[in-house]
Amino acid sequence: MSDAFPLDEIDFLGADRFSALGDAPVLTVDATAWQPPVAHIHAVCIGIDSEGALPEVDFGHFDLLLTTALDAPKPWVSVSPGRLAAHVEDLAQTVREWPMAATIMCRVLRLSDGLAFGHALEIESFAYSSLLGGSEFDRWRLSLPSQAIPAGEGPLVLVDRDADVVTLTLNHPSAMNAMTAAMRDALYSALANVLDDPTAPNIVLQGAGKCFSTGGALGEFGTATDLAQAHVVRTVHSCAALLDRLGPRATVRLHGACVGSGLEVPAAAARRLATQDAWFQLPELRMGLIPGAGGTASVARTIGRHRTAWMLLSGKRIDARLALAWGLIHGFVQ
């Protein structure tokens, strides 16, 4: 199951082979036997436990870990034995197709692990702006049919107060609550007003219509011309940062699709509830990007960096049952 590279012979001069610049941006290795080389490499490292033994390993040596054990504990991802080889190849092929985004994503997750939430958001945003100027994102953007930017009718975020609870509702159901810049700014303003309120109300964040949010509006991707300014806007107007700042006062109610920023932002809330039909996905890697609304900090804080890397590399949907088991949500609501 491991790539046939003479890893014990990697020297510093040749280490760039194991990066987005070389021919080996991904390594799939036996988790029980893997020892990283002395020379620092930037390849995505996928550890495999094909026997389902859940061996004691140094989790820090890996970007994600796969096992055939059923319902494996964190940070392992369980894969059925019959699907393991094909799934490993699918993940590896994703890295080969999007090597810059994949390797940068794993570096961001490693560097952010254990940092204060705000610092992790800044690291993510720096990397996101870099990738916005990269060839992989440009390739995806040029392949995308022209997309209109959905225009909302009425307020994009409804604000309702009942006693000491403020309910904020994403309010563009006809566009599946796509997180346009206008909606982000409206949500940021609403959250900031709650934080500035001397009565310190609790908040409930939810979405109108069939789903919570399908994430960023595709028509807005690639429209930023000043990538430095875009970084400042993302960090200064971060809805995830304000939800985190609210601490135990913040609850989110999730239903239907929770995709991209429609997962990254609510994952920053202290209390996360979902309906049985909710599902969760991080599709950014196949756009040549990483999460840009806080996901490498918020999602990784809830399920760990290894499982977050798996969500991004696989692009797969997580259903509500698995989200509960992994700690992405805390419970169910009607």
Express each pLDDT in 102-145 by its tens digit.
Answer: 999 999 999 999 999 999 999 999 999 999 999 999 999 999 88
The CATH number linked to 140 is 3.90.226.10
Cα separation, 171 vs 42, in Å, equals 42
Give 285's DSSP letter: G
pLDDT tens-place string over residues 48-93: 999 999 999 999 999 999 999 999 999 999 999 999 999 999 999 9
Structural domain including 51 reads 7-97
Q: Indicate if 69 and 133 belong to the same structural domain.
A: no
Residue 259's identity, in one-letter code, is V
Same domain, 193 and 281: yes
Is there a contact between 76 and 51 (Cβ–Cβ < 8 Å)? no
Q: Is residue 104 part of a domain?
A: no
Verify that 184 and 134 share a domain, yes or no: yes
Q: What is the pTM of this model?
A: 0.95
Same structural domain, 89 and 132: no
Read off the pLDDT of residues 32-60 as tens digits, 9 standing for 90 and up. 988 888 778 899 999 999 999 999 999 99
Instruction: Flag whether 105 is in a domain.
Output: no
323 shares a domain with 287: yes
- Residue 299 counted as domain residue: no
Does residue 313 belong to any structural domain of this protein?
no
Within a domain: residue 224? yes
Q: What's the mean pLDDT in 233-239?
A: 95
Is 14 part of any domain? yes
The number of folded domains in the chain is: 2
Identify whether residues 156 and 287 lie together within a single domain.
Answer: yes
pLDDT tens-place string over residues 140-155? 999 988 777 777 778 9
Residue 301: inside a domain: no
Shared domain check, 206 and 274? yes
Length of the chain: 334
Q: What is the pLDDT of residue 1?
A: 43
C-alpha 303/C-alpha 323 separation (Å) is: 9
Residues 135 and 174 in one domain: yes
